[in-house]
């Protein structure tokens, strides 16, 4: 039976995590190691300046559930090196995130940080997100597609150093048209900070912002999602910008 490690960034209490567990259990032994508190926006952060806690919450046939006091990436590291401790893990699933991990959100996302860590450790890894921020979002709409993608990844050879970034449009079940393999769109957050005064007249700031799509380019994840397709972007952790190397090589001396 396959060993499957599941994590997320919305915490062990999130509805999206429960949906992913239900979808994954038919595929193998499921071990959950998820943050004990919300960790949205934690990207690839790890905890180095304080020790971590791991708490076994549930154990039954082919299922274990732990909470972890660290980031999503810490959850993957502790899952592999404390819980599984060298035992083979066949698949890492992260999510289902409440919100979007499309385009440049992949860099801020704790869900995707965890999945990328999985592929860095040599394990097939997928991050899932539903484009609905509601904590009570309806995750059933994408369940069939998620099952299908998990089945495909289990069957195929590992894509070394590659993670899948899967986003599900916020559309009623029958309206999702299918799957599109995509590139990462060039969209960005236009930030704005709201300044407030504390009771002692000190300033503090809330990060707010608006996600701005550039030109809607066909073949990108944002384009696919706007057309009601599930987007699948293969993501790598080698960040080398190979196409500009030749503009800089004359620096070498």
DSSP 8-state secondary structure symbol assigned to residue 174: G
CB 99 within 8 A of CB 41: no
CB nearer to a copy of itself: pick between 3 and 47: 47
Chain residues 86-115 in contact with a copy of itself, contact rule CB under 8 A: 104, 106-108, 110, 113
**What is the distance between the alpha carbons of residues 76 and 83, in angstroms, rounded to a whole number?**
10
Please work out, in degrees rounded to the nearest 5, the angle formed at the alpha carbon of residue 165 by the alpha carbons of 159 and 168.
135
CB nearer to a copy of itself: pick between 28 and 161: 161
Measured in residues, the chain has a length of 253
Q: Dump strand ranges (E) for 148-187.
A: 162-168, 178-181
- Our measurement of the distance from residue 131's CA atom to the centroid of its chain's CA atoms, rounded to an integer in Å, reads 13
Chain residues 21-60 in contact with a copy of itself, contact rule CB under 8 A: 38, 40-49, 51-54
CB nearer to a copy of itself: pick between 172 and 178: 178
3-state secondary structure of 214: coil
**What is the distance between the alpha carbons of residues 66 and 35, in angstroms, rounded to a whole number?**
9
Q: Name which position in 92, 95, 184, 225 contacts a copy of itself (CB under 8 A).
A: 184
Residue 242 interacts with a copy of itself (CB under 8 A)?
Answer: yes
Closest distance to a copy of itself from the beta carbon of 1 (Å): 25
CB 33 within 8 A of CB 72: no
Q: Which stretch binds a copy of itself (CB under 8 A): 10-18, 57-65, 124-132, 160-168?
A: 160-168
> Which helix (DSSP H) or strand (DSSP E) does residue 131 occupy?
none
Chain residues 61-80 in contact with a copy of itself, contact rule CB under 8 A: 71, 73-74, 77-78, 80
CB nearer to a copy of itself: pick between 175 and 186: 186
- Our measurement of the distance from residue 132's CA atom to the centroid of its chain's CA atoms, rounded to an integer in Å, reads 14
**What is the distance between the alpha carbons of residues 225 and 131, in angstroms, rounded to a whole number?**
9
Chain residues 188-217 in contact with a copy of itself, contact rule CB under 8 A: 188, 191-193, 195-196, 202-207
Q: Name which position in 120, 143, 154, 217 contacts a copy of itself (CB under 8 A).
A: 120
3-state secondary structure of 33: strand
Residue 121 interacts with a copy of itself (CB under 8 A)?
Answer: yes
DSSP 8-state secondary structure symbol assigned to residue 122: T
Closest distance to a copy of itself from the beta carbon of 231 (Å): 10
Residue 1 interacts with a copy of itself (CB under 8 A)?
Answer: no
Q: Which stretch binds a copy of itself (CB under 8 A): 16-24, 57-65, 128-136, 181-189?
A: 181-189
Q: Name which position in 29, 159, 217, 228 contacts a copy of itself (CB under 8 A).
A: 159
Closest distance to a copy of itself from the beta carbon of 184 (Å): 5
């Amino acid at each position: 039976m396959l060993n499957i490690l599941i994590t997320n960034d919305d915490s062990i209490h999130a509805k999206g995590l429960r949906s992913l567990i239900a979808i994954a259990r038919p595929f193998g032994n499921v071990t959950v190691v998820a943050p004990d508190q919300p960790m949205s926006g934690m990207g690839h952060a790890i905890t180095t300046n304080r020790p971590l806690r791991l708490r076994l919450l549930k154990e039954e046939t082919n299922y274990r559930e732990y909470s972890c006091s660290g980031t999503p990436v810490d959850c993957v590291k502790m899952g592999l090196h404390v819980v599984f401790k060298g035992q083979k893990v066949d698949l890492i699933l992260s999510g289902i995130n409440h919100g979007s991990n499309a385009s440049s959100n992949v860099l801020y996302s704790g869900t995707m940080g965890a999945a990328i860590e999985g592929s860095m450790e040599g394990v097939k890894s997928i991050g899932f997100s539903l484009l609905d921020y509601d904590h009570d979002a309806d995750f059933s709409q994408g369940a069939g597609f998620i099952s299908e993608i998990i089945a495909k990844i289990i069957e195929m050879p590992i894509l070394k150093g590659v993670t899948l970034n899967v986003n599900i449009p916020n559309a009623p079940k029958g309206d999702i048209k299918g799957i599109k393999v995509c590139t990462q769109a060039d969209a960005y957050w236009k930030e704005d900070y709201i300044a407030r005064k504390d009771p002692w007249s000190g300033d503090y700031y809330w990060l707010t912002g608006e996600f701005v799509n550039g030109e809607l380019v066909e073949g990108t994840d944002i384009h696919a999602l706007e057309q009601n397709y599930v987007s699948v972007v293969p993501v790598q952790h080698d960040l080398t910008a190979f196409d500009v190397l030749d503009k800089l090589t004359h620096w070498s001396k």
